[in-house]
Chains A and B, each alone.
Chain A
Amino acid sequence: MTEPMNNKLIMGSQTLETIDEMVTDVVLDSKRHTKTWFMIVLAAFGVLQLLPIGVGWLLYQGIGIWGNNQPAAWGFDIINFVWWIGIGHAGTLISAILLLLQQQWRNSINRFAEAMTIFAVMCAGLYPALHTGRPWNDFWLFPYPNIMGVWPQWRSPLIWDVFAVSTYFTVSAVFWYVGLIPDLATLRDRAKPMWVKKLFAFLCLGWRGSVKHWERYQQLYLILAGLSTPLVLSVHTIVSYDFAVSIVPGWNVTVFPPYFVAGAVFAGFAMVLLLAIPVRAMYGLKDLITAKHLDWMAKIMLATGMIVFYGYMLELFYAWYSGETGEMTLLNWRLFGPYRYAYYALIFCNGIAPQIMWWNKARRNIGALWIVSLIVSVGMWLERFVIIPMSLTRNYLPSADKMYYPKLFDFVVFGGSIGMFITLMFLFVRFLPAINIFEVKEQLDHMKKHDSEHELAGVH
């Protein structure tokens, strides 16, 4: 499974035409889709059915079907929320920050990662909405002149969260769609059946590719990238405030915001690798998502993983350095309490396993990369488990301490959201161009110019 390392972002002898073909055929040529695609979508759709079951029963019975209790009022729902929202961050980082930094290797993975962001935020949004217990009143979260004469509690980080997440979803969705417009026009031009042509013509909003269109497109895309850039940092910072602003032992730590953001990017890149590796193999896109791309993503994973690990070490240090009874009790609970296995598994998944990415060989080994990504995804889930129920079950008042155990329906709803994510991802790969065609073409043009300049100068 080891792929040869190379320094090219586009492999093979590609022309503008072959790139068009390679990407649009996935959408337009139904023969490109083997049985595997159907099997995956069918399986994922089957798992997705857990969601209506879990949510329906929840709406009928109430939060009691979950393991949430007092004092652990935050359980799987908030763990899963933070986990999903973190996963989305790679998409925004790739599409916004790497665009502004003119990192050209982003070009063939940005579309895919952005779609992942949107679907992950959709999954994330489910949880706080259901966690309120009365989801039909969730519009109360928004400030509007209501008949109760009250505004949301502005001093609560939970309401900041509402804004952070809804802004994040809106901007990501607009950014993604705007980026799709020129490619939808390409699909329109290449489609054969009239209704497909018309459908894509409708979706691309009458894009003709005139210079004026391109100029406006570039302006809008840069503005949106500028808007998304602070979101990469702000969204998970505010999610971390949900914890850090409180006085619960183990939560009230200043390292939370940077360590949450790094964790989000870490989890996000793990998920991109987890999905991109099978998809590029299934659709023969290895020339566009090359070993070089995977290598860079692995490096970012390693770097953010180190920041996260530093966060874990600081948590331990802070607890000891504060000398606070509550903090010390929690430290003891984490390291030696009944949940200690989750903590040690976390240290292994996020601290130790990614270290093999230091070796070139490991980064080039697709199988190893995929397995590490899987381990990291599990690790990031465990991180939220360690933070949330562990702190809540050992608080200042020993009389209020109570264990937290998830119940069946915690797993049902979680499984359902994973099914939803995979279903949406594979439907996206089937019906929309998973790779940004025009940016890859631009990239190819750039590379060819670069090569010919070198030849003229007589160097190589």
Chain B
Amino acid sequence: MAQLFKPSANNYARTSIVLGGLTPVLIGLSLAAFSRSPLNTKVGTAKNQPVPFSHTHHAWELGIDCRYCHTAVEKSSYAGLPATETCMSCHSQIWTNSPLLEPVRQSYETGTPIQWNLVNKTPEFVYFNHSIHVARGINCNNCHGPVQNMPITAKGKSFQMQWCLKCHRAPEKYLYKDETKPNQTPRQQVFDLYWKMQAKEELTPRENGILAGEEQETGDAKEIEKGKKLVNQYGVKVQQLADCWVCHR
């Protein structure tokens, strides 16, 4: 019987075995890489806004406290976006003719709120509460990145569930207490850090890291020991902190 295939068919067969094994692995790895990359998470991608509001200018150069605009952050789940009146408390006096601020004046005159584009978004099935995080001394920058360096606001962290869970599974690696000010409450400490930086006081490496928006998970045994003490002191229930219902209610 004549041969049905040329000898080169063997090579095709071998190659297809190798490719058939590798392709699914490669596809899987690329999907894994894509889902974690800023292409998907949008970390560091500044979002267009009706008014090019600069956190660098307001929060750092002018030194306005976060709570001046995000008024509800200590008391409520939602940090709050400022009403137009808050903007106008200054801008009725300064830059009154700036074309960039036209939408603000429009909003003030017509009574329609400015439609900001949400940068940091938790899905609707996630119950997130700002106040409890602030009350335990979790700094804004831990989750929002170095906001003081954002001329146009961008997402600082991925906000993926595994990112939330890193802290919820081991809060002792994240909790931090400024030891130079023993009487300060954790809530005060959150905002005091910005004043320390403004005043050019000496900062610990961890404080520098927090301000730079770096990943706060510490591997240092001493720091973890301190963190554990804070966990007890704050009454954080670690054994249930990563339960489904904590965030999905």
Contacts and interface: CB of A to CB of B under 8 A. Distances in A.
B166 interface: yes
B116 to A, nearest CB: 27
Contacts of A188: 4
B4 A150 contact: no
B4 A198 contact: yes
A201 B158 CA distance: 52
A147 B163 CA distance: 8
Contacts of B162: 146-150
A177 to B, nearest CB: 14
Contacts of B5: 198, 201, 206
Contacts of A197: 4
B4 A201 contact: yes
Nearest to A198: B4
Interface string A136-178: 0000000011111110000000000000000000000000000
Given A201-B5, A206-B13, A147 B160 contact: yes
B174 to A, nearest CB: 15
B32 A149 contact: no
A148 B165 CA distance: 8
Interface residues of B, number: 18
A210 to B, nearest CB: 15
Nearest to A149: B162
A189 interface: yes
State the main secondary structure of chain A at its contact with B.
loop
Interface in B1-46: 1, 4-5, 9-10, 13, 28, 32, 35-36
A189 B1 CA distance: 9
Nearest to A205: B13
B5, B10, B166: most-surrounded residue (chain A CB, <10 A): B5
B161 interface: yes
Contacts of B36: 147
Contacts of B165: 148-150
Nearest to A202: B5
A205 B10 CA distance: 10
Interface string A425-459: 00000000000000000000000000000000000
Interface of A: 144-150, 188-189, 197-198, 201, 205-206
Interface of B: 1, 4-5, 9-10, 13, 28, 32, 35-36, 158, 160-166
Ranked 6 nearest A-B pairs via Cβ: A149-B162, A148-B161, A149-B165, A147-B160, A201-B4, A147-B35
Given A148-B162, A198-B4, 12 more contacts: A144-B28, A147-B36, A147-B160, A147-B162, A148-B165, A149-B160, A149-B162, A149-B163, A150-B162, A188-B4, A197-B4, A206-B13
